[in-house]
């Protein structure tokens, strides 16, 4: 399929990979998939990819879910929030299903698409886009597809240039001067290239089907980066698409916090209103909440407050989701508080990420630097930057002191556990609610 006129994106199909565990986000993904993690007050991470789909003119999207899909499925609904409802428009949830393998669990990114080729075949689009559902970015996929067609590529991989010193954190792409890919390296110690793969791929559908039937069906290999693309290199028709805009993988607690805090920078390229990012406003109902209220005598500086917030104390350098309450005399600084968190009178919260419905008791001190700077003993690669994370519905008692790099699991009630001091680097691994009752709401 090679066209001289502009390609009609309505004939393309988007497959969004949204089943990842995202374990480096720690307790934020104990009860939800990574793409369902709230971001920026009222959004979820998957909203960015879905909004790109909508803004690029694509009318059909399949969402490949797997890990703890309840909240994600509820958030997506029928696709109304992204205009993906109608005779030719749809969002289709594609969970693992029995009958294709002995196991009903996706084994990798390519395997997930392979096991849904029947869905692809029902509409058989000319171009199929395979997209990660857990990154923060704004991209016009039409430009990617146009280049893919003009180059006559079998597949095109979106890449971004990063400092060479950072490239070891990603899968890198090696390409020639004409834009044809000649090699890949997966998180190399000494990268040869400063181009990283963004997990955004365009395929001629016929090529995609034939390749997956060979790689996944016959060879039982499962991953695009490790298996499919290296096999396609031999044919010499694998191209790259340079993307120069903002893109961030929020796969770690620090990256998640850094990206969220960019919302407070007026010069940041992370510009959600101009990106036309949509979300489902009906699930958590931010549109039904009253405007944020700042009481006389309260102090708010360099912060974002969503609807329903009630501020009687001090909020500085922080992002608050709908319904957060900061009581009189309480101080919230350099923190992210998700929906309906409550900080009671006189409490101090610094460098904290608090999930939904967390309650911090009066005069408690969280992120207390006086308790040391030890990295987290249970999760040393997750919590080593001074951030403390509280899982959903955690309860912190009155006058409790918690240090930095601490982790409190969802539902943990520290008063019932008789904990009034948690030194830096410690973890409370106890959950009050079952996973079924505690699923993200």
What digits encode the pLDDT tens for the residues 62-80?
999 887 777 888 898 889 9
Co-location of 57 and 193 in the same domain? yes
**Of 264, 299, 317, which closes a domain?**
264
Co-location of 298 and 168 in the same domain? no
Q: Residue 407 domain-assigned?
A: yes
Co-location of 78 and 135 in the same domain? yes
CA distance 434 to 2: 53
Co-location of 39 and 137 in the same domain? yes
Containing structural domain, residue 212: 9-264
Predicted local distance difference test score (pLDDT) of residue 435:
43
We report the CATH number of the domain holding residue 373 as: 2.160.10.10
pTM to 2 decimals? 0.91
Q: Annotate 329-386 with DSSP letters as a single string.
A: T-EEES-EE-TT-EE-TT-EEESEEE-TT-EE-TT-EES-GGG--PPPSS-TTTS-SS
Co-location of 22 and 165 in the same domain? yes
Q: Residue 282 domain-assigned?
A: no
We report the CATH number of the domain holding residue 41 as: 3.90.550.10
What digits encode the pLDDT tens for the residues 145-196?
999 999 999 999 999 999 999 999 899 999 999 999 999 998 889 999 999 9
First to last CA, the chain: 44
CA distance 437 to 141: 39
CA distance 326 to 332: 8
Co-location of 83 and 229 in the same domain? yes
Co-location of 234 and 314 in the same domain? no
Q: Residue 43 domain-assigned?
A: yes
Q: Residue 66 domain-assigned?
A: yes
Predicted local distance difference test score (pLDDT) of residue 222:
87
Cβ neighbours, 10 Å, residue 162: 17
CB 22 within 8 A of CB 37: yes
**Of 231, 264, 297, which closes a domain?**
264
CA distance 371 to 396: 17
User: Is pLDDT above 70 for 437?
Assistant: no
CB 341 within 8 A of CB 358: yes
Query: Where are the strands (E) in 237-303, listed by range?
Result: 238-242, 247-249, 293-294, 299-301
CA distance 28 to 382: 12
Q: Residue 325 domain-assigned?
A: yes
Co-location of 70 and 30 in the same domain? yes
Co-location of 235 and 299 in the same domain? no
CA distance 275 to 246: 11
Predicted local distance difference test score (pLDDT) of residue 438:
47
CA distance 145 to 155: 10
Q: Residue 279 domain-assigned?
A: no
Mean pLDDT, rounded, for 307-331: 97
Tell me how many degrees the CA angle 67-69-74 measures, rounded to the nearest 5: 165
Co-location of 232 and 332 in the same domain? no
Q: Residue 272 domain-assigned?
A: no
Co-location of 110 and 257 in the same domain? yes
What digits encode the pLDDT tens for the residues 101-133?
445 677 889 999 999 999 998 888 999 999 999
Q: Residue 183 domain-assigned?
A: yes
Q: What secondary structure letter does DSSP report for 1?
A: -
Co-location of 249 and 366 in the same domain? no
Q: How many domains does the chain have?
A: 2
Q: Annotate 166-229 with DSSP letters as a single string.
A: GGGGSEEEEE-TTSBEEEEEES-SS-S-SEEEEEEEEEEHHHHHHHHIIIIIIT----IIIIIH
Residues in the chain: 441
């Amino acid at each position: 399929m090679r066209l001289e006129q502009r390609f009609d994106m309505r004939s393309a199909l988007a497959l969004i990979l949204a089943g990842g565990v995202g374990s480096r986000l720690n307790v934020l993904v104990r009860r939800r998939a990574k793409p369902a993690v709230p971001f920026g007050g009222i959004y979820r991470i998957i909203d960015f990819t879905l909004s790109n789909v909508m803004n690029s003119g694509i009318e059909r999207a399949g969402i490949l879910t797997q890990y703890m899909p309840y909240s994600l499925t509820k958030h997506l609904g029928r696709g109304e929030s992204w205009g993906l409802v109608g005779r030719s428009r749809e969002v289709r949830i594609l969970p693992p299903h029995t009958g294709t393998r002995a196991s009903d669990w996706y084994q990798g990114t390519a395997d997930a698409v392979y096991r849904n080729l029947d869905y692809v075949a029902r509409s058989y689009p000319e171009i199929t886009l395979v997209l990660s559902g857990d990154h923060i970015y704004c991209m016009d996929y039409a430009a990617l597809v146009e280049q893919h067609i003009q180059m006559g590529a079998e597949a095109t991989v979106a890449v971004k240039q990063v400092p060479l010193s950072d490239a070891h954190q990603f899968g890198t792409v090696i390409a020639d001067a004409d834009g044809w890919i000649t090699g890949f390296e997966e998180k190399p110690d000494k990268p040869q290239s400063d181009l990283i793969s963004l997990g955004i791929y365009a395929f001629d559908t016929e090529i995609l089907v034939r390749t997956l039937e060979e790689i996944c069906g016959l060879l039982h290999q499962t991953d695009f980066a490790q298996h499919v693309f290296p096999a396609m290199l031999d044919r010499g028709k694998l191209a790259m698409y340079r993307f120069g805009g903002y893109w961030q993988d929020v796969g770690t607690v620090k990256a998640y916090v850094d990206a969220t805090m960019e919302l407070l920078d007026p010069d940041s390229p992370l510009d959600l209103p101009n990106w036309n990012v949509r979300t489902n406003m009906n699930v958590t109902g931010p549109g039904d909440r009253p405007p944020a209220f700042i009481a006389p005598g309260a102090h708010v500086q360099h912060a974002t407050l969503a609807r329903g917030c009630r501020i009687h104390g001090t909020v500085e350098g922080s992002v608050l989701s709908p319904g957060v309450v900061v009581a009189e005399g309480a101080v919230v600084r350099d923190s992210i508080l998700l929906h309906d968190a409550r900080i009671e009178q006189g409490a101090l919260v610094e460098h904290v990420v608090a999930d939904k419905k967390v309650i911090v008791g009066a005069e408690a001190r969280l992120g207390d630097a006086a308790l040391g700077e030890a990295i987290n003993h249970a999760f040393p690669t997750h919590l080593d930057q001074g951030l403390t994370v509280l899982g959903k519905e955690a309860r912190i008692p009155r006058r409790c002191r918690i240090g930095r790099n601490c982790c409190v699991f969802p539902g943990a009630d520290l008063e019932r556990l008789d904990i009034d001091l948690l030194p830096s680097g410690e973890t409370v691994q106890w959950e009050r609610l079952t996973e079924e009752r505690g699923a993200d709401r």
